[in-house]
Structure 1
Amino acid sequence: MKIYTKTGDKGSTSLVGGERTNKYDLRVWAYGSIDEANSSIGLARACMEDENLKGKLLKIQKTLFEVAAELASLGTKNYRSRIEEEDVVFLEDTIDELDRMRPVQNGFIVPGGTVESAHLDVARTDVRRAERYISELRNHYEVNDSLQKYVNRLSDAIYAVARYFDYKDILKKTEEKLTSLNSGEKIDCRGNPQKNLLTNTVLNRETAEYIAGKCIEKSYDIGVPMVICIVDFDGNVILLERMDNSLLISLKVAFKKAYTAAALKSPTGELYKALLPGGEFYGLNNDENIITFAGGFPLKIDGHIVGAIGVSGGTVDEDTSVSKYGVEVFEEVVKYGIKR
């Protein structure tokens, strides 16, 4: 059987059941847009490695054949509803699943973050166009409510999948950058054993206790009980000191401040914009140990980060004041040793 039939040479086409209509029929525009969306979804799926999402998109593509068939039978004796509420529920479950896997995004997203999301964004606009045609079809035909709900929900589902791929890409690039920073700044004992010995000698339990003691004195001066946490280069706790009557939650917050300052090589109070959508470290705020409250500072020797300090318990200014003082104490220890 030949692919071409010549029956459409004069601008007509067949609906489901064989009835002929013009190719500019609103029904043709509607199911034609669904066909375009299906093709774009297929292109995106062909670029993916995530088997779970590939499976979900394949299911959506098969359902779109049913959507198109239902649209192509509107107003004919062969019409029957094909889309049901369970199809809508599948899309809603997919959206909810993906929303739990990525941080909340506010504002408009510029398409083109990844190959997969770019193709999906094209599909999303095709679906939106189909939805507009379907809304107009309701003025002329009795359209299945579940079909209209499905198409409306479909654009949201495609958007959720696209943003998930953007998020995964940003997370991957950020992790690569952090790995590069870590390998670039870590002091190599083979290259300079004396410097590595200095690091281990200076930032140890004794030094951490000395710094914390000075920070506690500072906290008494301002009249606020604090929690002081000092971590090593890898974010492991060297010391976690809690003053009497300090807030219980400050135990977690102080550690997170120190960990974040060590992991991202920056004072925590300067990281807020970098963790927003489009920022250098966007996506890492999904890590429960990352925090952007001020009060965390890296500890450095000759420009190399060897650890960090985090302070919590007071206002932003109070936490910052005590943690900065801790940095100053550490720098004095590096230069002159612990003052007895």
Structure 2
Amino acid sequence: MRVYTRTGDKGETSLAGGRRVPKDHPRIEVLGALDEAFSCLGLARSLCGVGERAEVVAKVQAVLVEIMSSVAGFATPLRPEERVAEVEGWIDDLEFEQEVAGLLLGRERGFWLFGEDPAGSALQLARALLRRAERELVGASKSEDGLAGLVPLINRLSDLLFVLGLALSVEAWIRRFARVLSSCLIQELVGEVRKEMGCGSLSLEEAMRLIASARRRAEELGVPMVIAVVDGAGFLLAFQRMDGALLVSCDLAVKKAKTAALIRKPTHVVAELVQPGAMLYGFASYEDFCSFGGGLPVERGGKVVGGIGVSGGTVEQDVDVAYFALSSFGG
């Protein structure tokens, strides 16, 4: 089957029913703008990944297919007024996104400089293309029947894309700010820890003893694990990977130990502290940070002198092994 047909070489194309029209026909201009927006939404959806927002974008694409079919003159079950109400419901469901847009728009009206987030930027591009399609549609409806009712629907779809894209851009800015802030805080925290190192830190012998205890418990559970021990400043002291342990656990064990030592809390507790609105929100973006259970601070005389990280089993098993090792430390 050939991709090309040569039927459009003379500047004409077909609408529904085989009606031949020039390629600059008002309906074709509308279809072209809608097609551009549709394609851009495909890019935005791929950048959104998997989740609620990607699903919303997919629903917008599905509506655009119906609109394009209607503009082309095909019989469709599309009822624009019903779809407008449905899209308004989608916007209402985006509670967080609406709050972000409401807060920002309430403070300042004007043009926005987008670019913080690839998906958010793609959505804004799709919105701009939809706005162009809307303008083309207004013009086409003056000479073509059955198009005027589509204007409110496209208008509402572009509103949806604006709100969603703006929220993604704001979230990206928050993440970037949090990374910078977290890096500064971590460096400050490491400095404070180093000042306290006068109270002593783990020795290599103690670190090896912790690893031996952890390994003994892992063997009892029948789970090959990776165990890492760091000193009070988060620097690696000892490391051991049991035969058959998952390779990804090599990195996770070190990060768990470092996080527990620097934050001075078990990593399964830290997981609650990095949720949106919590005390350490933003720390999760720090490169060496890990909030999976299995990391514990090691204390001596009430002072944190190191950390142990265990990875390879379930979260419960990792935590179990870490606590078992800590019970043998006697600090």
Q: Structure 1 length as normaliser, TM-score?
A: 0.52
Q: Cα offset for 1:84?
A: 3.1
Q: Cα offset for 1:112?
A: 1.9
Query: Given the alignment of the two structures, is residue 86 of structure 1 paired with residue 82 of structure 2, yes or no?
Result: yes
SS at match of 1:66: helix
Query: Given the alignment of the two structures, is residue 151 of structure 1 paired with residue 147 of structure 2, yes or no?
Result: no
Confirm or deny: 8 A CA contact 1:81 1:144 kept in the other structure: no
Change (3 A) 1:37 1:183: same
Show the counterpart of 1:62: 62
Q: Cα offset for 1:28?
A: 0.1
Structure 1 consecutive aligned stretches of length 4 or more whose deviation exceeds 6 Å = none
Q: Cα offset for 1:172?
A: 1.1
Show the counterpart of 2:220: none
Change (3 A) 1:168 1:50: farther
Show the counterpart of 1:181: 184
Change (3 A) 1:25 1:165: same
Deviations 1:223-264 (CA, angstroms, capped at 9, x unpaired): xxxxxxxxxxxxxxxxxxxxxxxxxxxxxxxxxxxxxxxxxx
- Which amino acid letter does the alignment assign opposite residue 20 of structure 1? R
Show the counterpart of 1:100: 99
Show the counterpart of 2:224: none
Change (3 A) 1:110 1:188: closer
Query: Given the alignment of the two structures, is residue 138 of structure 1 paired with residue 141 of structure 2, yes or no?
Result: yes
Q: Cα offset for 1:81?
A: 6.2
Show the counterpart of 2:314: none
Show the counterpart of 2:306: none
Show the counterpart of 2:28: 28
Q: Structure 2 length as normaliser, TM-score?
A: 0.53
Q: Cα offset for 1:171?
A: 1.6
SS at match of 2:178: helix
The alignment yields a C-alpha RMSD, in angstroms, of: 2.6
Q: Cα offset for 1:67?
A: 0.6
Deviations 1:99-147 (CA, angstroms, capped at 9, x unpaired): 0356621232112222112222221111111101111122112335542
User: Following the alignment from structure 1 to structure 2, what is the Cα–Cα distance between the partners of residues 159 and 175?
Assistant: 24
SS at match of 1:111: coil
Of 85-94 and 29-38, the range deviating more from structure 2? 85-94
User: Following the alignment from structure 1 to structure 2, what is the Cα–Cα distance between the partners of residues 3 and 81?
Assistant: 30
SS at match of 1:13: strand
**Whose helix fraction is larger, Structure 1's or Structure 2's?**
2
Q: Cα offset for 1:177?
A: 2.5
User: Following the alignment from structure 2 to structure 1, what is the Cα–Cα distance between the partners of residues 195 and 102?
Assistant: 41
Deviations 1:3-58 (CA, angstroms, capped at 9, x unpaired): 21111111110001211111110100001100000000101111122511111111
Show the counterpart of 1:110: 113
User: Following the alignment from structure 1 to structure 2, what is the Cα–Cα distance between the partners of residues 124 and 102?
Assistant: 15
Q: How many residues align?
A: 196
User: Following the alignment from structure 1 to structure 2, what is the Cα–Cα distance between the partners of residues 190 and 142?
Assistant: 74
User: Following the alignment from structure 1 to structure 2, what is the Cα–Cα distance between the partners of residues 100 and 144?
Assistant: 33
User: Following the alignment from structure 1 to structure 2, what is the Cα–Cα distance between the partners of residues 186 and 71?
Assistant: 61
Change (3 A) 1:100 1:190: closer
What 5-or-longer segments of structure 1 have no aligned partner?
A: 197-285, 290-340
Identity level (%) = 29
Change (3 A) 1:195 1:139: farther
